[in-house]
Amino acid sequence: MEYKNTYNNINKNPIAFFDSGVGGLTVMNKVVKLLPNENRLYFGDTKNMPYGEKTEEQLLQYADEIFRFFERHNAKAVIMACNTTSAVTYEKLKNNYNFKIYPIIQSVCPVLANSGIKRLCVIATPATINSHAYSKEISKYNSEMEIFEISAPNWVRIVEEHRINQPQSILQVQEILEEVEKFSPDKIVLACTHYPYLMNVLKKFAPQEKFIDPAEYFAQIIKDDLTKNNLLNDKFEYEKFYVSSNPQNFVEASKMFYNVSKLPELISFKQSS
């Protein structure tokens, strides 16, 4: 992960997060606790949500537009707080920009691989599951672990449309967890950043201690790496939110994980379909 420093006071430049909507706030929440002095940007690509149902070509286009946007805003590091784009686009895009990029899957899999877990279940979006990114990354460090991967196609919309406690949503969570339990996993990775919003429902069907939110490891990895590279800021000055549609809905949907105090700015990239 090499990067070129083209600005004088780079430490003051923001760290930037993106995801398809409010999911990445589950990561930003943890990063801010460890790195409160960092200026930060957050881009929620609400217009193109859910990413998990998009093609590789579409995801490459969305991620590239957002990375270019962050370049124009002088980001010193970008946090791919989205499993789907980390799985599908990171390898193809990683050398194209002038900042450090932290992809969630590639960052946390070494930790999962060395955790001593024997049977691991990964729940994620269809695109992440089809890529087998988790099992491929973990097997680089540990070939013994048994991994069961399952997609939960509707869960992201449940969160974005604030339908978490509706009977139909609870049923859709239950159906997936019944499949998961057939595998008798030791631990279950919530491999989509939206899923921690569902914890109150998830824990009805499996013990809360069984779930792993990879953001727990990810935030520490980001802190350690920014520290090692002398990129830390000493004083927080600003945070800014951007979305590609419906700013008010973003504020509503985010409440469980982040206090978005100001309405996000609406951004439209001309070529997005």
Query: Which candidate in 16, 105, 192, 253 is catalytic?
Result: 192
Quote the least distance from Cβ 6 to ligand DGL, whole Å: 30
Instruction: Mark residues 162-201: x for contact with ligand DGL by CB under 6 A, - for none.
Output: ------------------------------xxx-------
Cα–Cα distance for residue pair 146/148, rounded to 1 Å? 7
Cα–Cα distance for residue pair 252/240, rounded to 1 Å? 17
Which positions from 58 through 97 interact with ligand DGL, judged by CB under 6 A? 82-84
Determine whether 207 is exposed, middle or buried from the number of CB atoms within 10 Å of its CB (0-12, 13-18, 19+).
Answer: exposed
Q: Indicate whether 52 belongs to the interface with ligand DGL (CB under 6 A).
A: yes
Quote the least distance from Cβ 235 to ligand DGL, whole Å: 30
Which positions from 223 through 252 interact with ligand DGL, judged by CB under 6 A? none
192 carries an active-site annotation = yes
Say which residues have a Cβ less than 8 Å from residue 40's Cβ, sequence separation at least 6: 14, 15, 16, 17, 28, 32, 238, 239, 240
Quote the least distance from Cβ 59 to ligand DGL, whole Å: 10
Are the C-beta atoms of 265 and 245 separated by less than 8 Å? no
Are the C-beta atoms of 246 and 46 separated by less than 8 Å? yes
Rg of the chain on CA atoms, in Å = 18
3-state secondary structure of 16: strand
Instruction: Mark residues 138-167: x for contact with ligand DGL by CB under 6 A, - for none.
Output: ------------------x-----------
Nearer to ligand DGL, 157 or 223 (CB): 157
Which residues are the active-site residues?
82, 192
Site residues for ligand DGL per CB under 6 A: 19-20, 23, 49-52, 82-84, 125, 128, 156, 192-194
